[in-house]
Amino acid sequence: MKILFLSQIVPYPPHGGVLQRGYNIVREIAKEHEVHLLAYIHPEILTDQTMIDESRRVLEGMCTSVHYFDLWPKKSKLHKLLALSIGTVYPGPFSALAHTSAAYRKCMQKLLTEHDFDVVHYDTIGLARYLKYAPKVPSVLTHHNIESNLMERRSKVERTAFGRWYVARQARLLRDYEASQSPKFDVNVMMSSTDEKDLLAMAPAVRTAIVPNGVDIEYFKPLEAVVEPAIIYTGGMNMFANEDAVMYMLRDMWSEIKAAVPDVKFYVIGQDPTREILDIAKQDASVIVTGFVDDIRPYVAKSAVYVVPIRVGGGTRLKVLDALAQGKAIVSTSVGCEGIEVTNGLDICIENDSKGFIRRTVELLKSRDRREELGKSARRLAVERYSWAGIGQVLDGVYEEVGKRDMHSARGEQGS
């Protein structure tokens, strides 16, 4: 098959979140199909020309063609300010505004004239605007989260009145956009049955398929290490959900955990730590903020407990899958492990209030046997259900199904 893959981000390096899923999905489908990739450069990820060139070299080794574009709100601080200002009055969601690009559109149209594509894959709701340029090509839209749910949750924890208003407005706009745009696609790919249920509640007529997130079980595996009395959280602090999770731990739980385990450490791993987090680390030597690291595995291996105190978000957490595959004892909120088929008490511990989270974390810090028991079950789950090779086969089946013309024609007859 010939696949036109429209991405909201260059899927490289494969370090966490959408980057990890994008890289592994492209790698798997490119093993069997001809893939043409269009992607936006995020300058906070690909920080210089050397990294851009490296990403292109790697992705061109997988894909037939690779095309990069600037994401205009991230071109400068002035562009960001302008985008946010326009976002206060723009009638659609910010994600649709941010992904508006004449160059992206022209490249897409050129490729459509040069190739007879079997499927166009739109890898986020923010790219739905490009569907009109390929009305006769079978279409797949990925929902990494139900974005409106993420925004709604975030609006409740924003610290300023303006922030709460702005994010709540985005949540409403996104919900309307998801409800109106999703039925126009032949298949909507969901990360979990939870997200599928939420989308169907908004747009009952949509066709869905679940293609869960996965993990590279050969790369992420248990490593030999001297385990410290330490907890660890990984995730870029340029994502609100990650920053909020770290601050929730530091503000509401850290002092009590330290009181129970005086020599405990807290490893905070991820790019762009905020000034507030850095200031706390300066005052508390037990909080170790590394910023971005090339390889998180040694840090995870030496930490006794992997914590996921996430309060905002949706979809599935690749960080949790990585930790499962590494055989770690995990304490998470329900939101943190949403969409993953974990069992509380068997392969993970789930606690939704700070007191319970503290209690469970302290118990695991003090019990090696319990940590190892959870870790073995966690690794088994990752291997049996979440390898990328198997997930690539699931998506391949979706492509085969959506490529059937009778399915696409039925959508066209509905006037979508």
Give the angle subtended at the CA of 235 by the CAs of 292 and 225, to the nearest 5°.
75
Is residue 88 predicted with pLDDT exceeding 60? yes
Residues of the chain by 3-state class (helix, strand, coil), percent to 5: 50, 15, 35
d(CA 72, CA 130): 17
| Judgement on whether residues 141 and 22 belong to the same structural domain of the protein | yes
C-alpha span between 363 and 355 (Å, rounded): 12
- Asked if residue 138 and residue 51 are part of one domain, the reply reads yes
Closest CA to 398 of 29, 10, 19: 29
Asked if residue 244 and residue 193 are part of one domain, the reply reads no
**Whose CA is closest to 231, among 154, 287, 290, 310?**
287
Clarify whether residues 9 and 98 are in a common domain: yes
Q: Provide the residue range defining the domain that includes 86.
A: 2-211+388-413
Q: What is the pLDDT of residues 49-70, one digit of tens each?
A: 999 999 999 999 999 999 999 9
pLDDT of residue 193: 87
HSE-up of 248 (CA within 13 Å, CB side)?
24
Residues 200 and 293 in one domain: no
Band of the pLDDT at 412, cuts 50, 70, 90? very low
Q: Which two tokens stand for residue 370?
A: 């319990």
The verdict on 294 and 282 lying in the same domain is yes
pLDDT per residue over 342-369, tens digit each? Answer: 999 999 999 999 999 999 999 999 999 9
Given this model, what pLDDT does residue 415 score?
39
* DSSP code string of 132-172: GGSTTS-EEEEESS-HHHHHHHHHTT-SSHHHHHHHHHHHH
Residue 74 pLDDT > 70, yes or no?
yes
Percent of the chain with pLDDT over 70: 96
DSSP 206: -
Contact 242, 316 (CB under 8 A): no
Q: What is the pLDDT of residues 272-331, one digit of tens each?
A: 999 999 999 999 999 999 999 989 999 999 999 999 999 986 545 789 999 999 999 999
- In eight-state DSSP terms, residue 387 is B
Q: What is the largest CA-CA distance in the chain?
A: 67
Average of per-residue pLDDT across 255-284: 96
The reported pLDDT for the residue numbered 165 is 93
> Is the pLDDT confidence value at 410 over 80?
no
Residue 128 has φ and ψ, to the nearest 5°, of -60, -25
Please count the structural domains in the chain: 2
- Does 196 share its domain with 307? no
pLDDT per residue as tens digits for the range 183-242:
999 999 998 888 999 999 999 989 999 998 899 899 999 999 999 999 999 998 888 889
Q: Do residues 416 and 52 lie in contact, with contact meaning Cβ atoms separated by under 8 Å?
A: no
Task: Give yes or no for residue 16 having a pLDDT over 90.
Answer: no
Distances (CA, A) of 86 to 83, 151, 178: 5, 18, 20
CATH number, domain with residue 9: 3.40.50.2000
pLDDT surpasses 80 at 405: no
pLDDT at 91: 93
